[in-house]
Amino acid sequence: MISQERQKQLRSLLQTLAVELEQYDLLNVALTHPSYVLEKDGAESVHNQRLEFLGDAVVDLVVGDYLFHEFPLKTEGELTKMRAALVCESTLASAARRAQVGSYLLIGKGERSCGGKDRSSNLADAWEALIGALYLEKGIDAVRSVAIRFIMPEIELVKKGYYGDYKTQLQEIIQKNPDDHVSYQILAESGPDHDKNFEAGVYINDEFRAKGAGKTKKEAEQNAAFYTLVQLGEING
Do 119 and 212 sit in the same domain of this protein?
Answer: no
pLDDT category at 92 given cuts 50, 70, 90 is very high
* Residue 128 known to be catalytic: yes
Whether residue 236 lies inside any domain: the answer is: no
Q: Determine the structural domain holding residue 86 and report its residue range.
A: 4-159
What separation in angstroms does the CA of 173 have from each of 169, 182, 233?
7, 10, 11
Q: Does 20 participate in catalysis according to the annotation?
A: no
Catalytic one of 52, 56, 111, 125: 56
Asked if residue 197 and residue 118 are part of one domain, the reply reads: no
Instruction: Report percent pLDDT > 90 for the chain.
Output: 59
* Count of CB atoms situated within 10 Å of the CB of 26: 20
| Mean pLDDT rounded to a whole number for the chain | 90
Q: Mark whether 144 and 186 lie in a shared domain.
A: no
Read off the pTM.
Answer: 0.76
Q: Which among 52, 128, 199, 221 is annotated as catalytic?
A: 128
